[in-house]
Amino acid sequence: MLHRFLYALFLIAASAASISASAQNTPKSVVTTPQVRAELLAHAPQGVVPGQPVWVGLQITHQPEWHTYWKNSGDSGLPTVLQWTLPAGVTAGDIAWPLPRKIPIGNLANYGYEGTVLLPVPLSISPDFKPSLLASELEVKLHAVWLVCRKECIPEEGDFTLKVPVKSTTALNGAAFDASLAAQPQPLAARSKIEVQGAELQLTVADLPAALRGKTLELFPETPEITAPAVDIRQSWTGPTWTATATLTAMRSQSPAQMPLVLVAEQDGQRQGYRTEADVRGSWPQAVAAPTITPALEAALRANSSAAQIPAAPSLSWAAALLGALLGGLILNLMPCVFPVLAIKLMGFAQHAGDRRAHRVDGLAYSAGAIASFLALGALMLGLRAAGEQLGWGFQLQSPVVVAALAVLFTVVGLNLAGLFEFGQFLPSRLATLQARNPALNAFLSGVLAVAVASPCTAPFMGASLGLAVGLPAAQALPIFAVMGLGMALPYLAASLSPGLARLLPRPGAWMATFRQLMAFPMFATVAWLVWVLGQQSGIDGAGSLLVLLVAVAAVLWALGLAGRTRLVAATLSIAAIVGVISAAGPNIIKNAPPANAVAAGERWQPWEPGRVEQTLATGQPVMVDFTAAWCVTCQYNKKTTLSNTAVLADLDAKNVQLLRADWTRRDPAITAALGQLGRNGVPVYVLYKAGSAPQVLSEVLNVDDLRAAIAKL
Condensed to tens digits (0 to 9), the pLDDT of residues 265-286 reads 988 778 999 999 999 998 888 7
Strand, helix or coil at 172? coil
Query: Looking at residue 409, what is its pLDDT?
Result: 79
Q: Is the pLDDT of residue 17 over 60?
A: no
Q: CA-to-CA distance for 361 and 348, rounded, in angstroms?
A: 11
- d(Cα 303, Cα 295) in Å, to the nearest integer? 12
| Residue 710 pLDDT | 92
Question: Mean pLDDT over residues 511-530, rounded?
Answer: 79
Residue 326 has pLDDT above 70, yes or no: yes
CA dist list (Å): 30 to 41, 60, 85: 9, 10, 17
Q: Distance (Å, rounded) from C-alpha 37 to C-alpha 666?
A: 14
pLDDT beyond 70 at 673: yes
Q: What pLDDT does residue 221 have?
A: 94
For residue 72, the model assigns a pLDDT of 92
For residue 202, name the pLDDT band (cuts at 50, 70, 90): very high
Determine the pLDDT at residue 59: 95
In one-letter notation, the amino acid at residue 1 is: M
* Confidence label for 173 from pLDDT (cuts 50, 70 and 90): confident
Choice between 137 and 63, residue whose per-residue pLDDT is larger: 63
Confidence at 219, pLDDT banded by 50, 70, 90: very high
User: Residue 385's pLDDT is what?
Assistant: 56
Q: Which among 162, 142, 161, 175 is positioned nearest to 48, based on CA atoms?
A: 162
pLDDT of residue 341: 62
Cα–Cα–Cα angle for 102, 106, 111, rounded to 5 degrees: 20
Closest CA to 381 of 30, 27, 17, 33: 17
Using alpha carbons, select from 646, 660, 662 the residue that is nearest to residue 704: 646
pLDDT at 511 (0 to 100): 67
- Characterise 280 by phi-psi region: left (phi > 0), alpha (psi -120 to 50), beta (else): beta
- How far, in Å, CA of 399 to CA of 381, rounded? 14
Q: So what's the pLDDT on residue 67?
A: 93
Res 209 pLDDT > 80: yes
Rounded CA-CA distance 55/42 in Å is 6
Q: Give the 3-state secondary structure of 71-106.
A: EEEECCCCCCEEEEECCCCEEECCCCCCCCEEEEEC
Q: What is the DSSP letter of 27?
A: -
The pLDDT, as a whole number, for residue 563 is 77
**Calpha distance 293→127 (Å, rounded):** 57
pLDDT at 657: 94
Return the SS3 of 231.
coil
Percent of the chain with pLDDT over 90: 21
**pLDDT band at residue 15, thresholds of 50, 70 and 90?**
very low
State percent of the chain over pLDDT 70: 76
Among 154-163, 255-264, 560-569, 571-580, the minimum mean pLDDT is found in: 560-569
Alpha helices in 420-563 (DSSP H): 429-432, 434-437, 440-454, 462-469, 474-497, 499-504, 511-518, 520-560
Q: What is the mean pLDDT of the chain?
A: 78
CA 384 to chain CA centroid, nearest Å = 14
Tens of pLDDT, residue by residue over 528-539, are 878 888 887 778
Pairing relation of β-strands 658-663 and 623-628? parallel
Q: 390-409, pLDDT tens digit by residue?
A: 455 555 566 788 778 878 87
Which sign, positive or negative, has the C-alpha torsion 390, 391, 395, 396? positive
Please give the average per-residue pLDDT across 77-100, as a whole number. Answer: 91
Nearest alpha-carbon partner for 604 in 661, 673, 675: 661
How far apart (Å, rounded) are the C-alpha atoms in residues 444 and 481? Answer: 17
How many angstroms separate the CA atoms of 350 and 360, rounded?
14
* pTM for this model (two decimals): 0.43
Which domains are seen in the chain, by residue range?
2-24+313-590 (no CATH), 33-184 (2.60.40.10), 187-281 (2.60.40), 605-712 (3.40.30.10)
Q: Is the pLDDT of residue 40 over 80?
A: yes
Residues 561/416, Cβ–Cβ less than 8 Å: no
* Confidence band for 37, pLDDT divided at 50, 70 and 90: very high
Higher-pLDDT residue of 433 and 204 is 204
| The pLDDT of residue 336 is above 70 | no
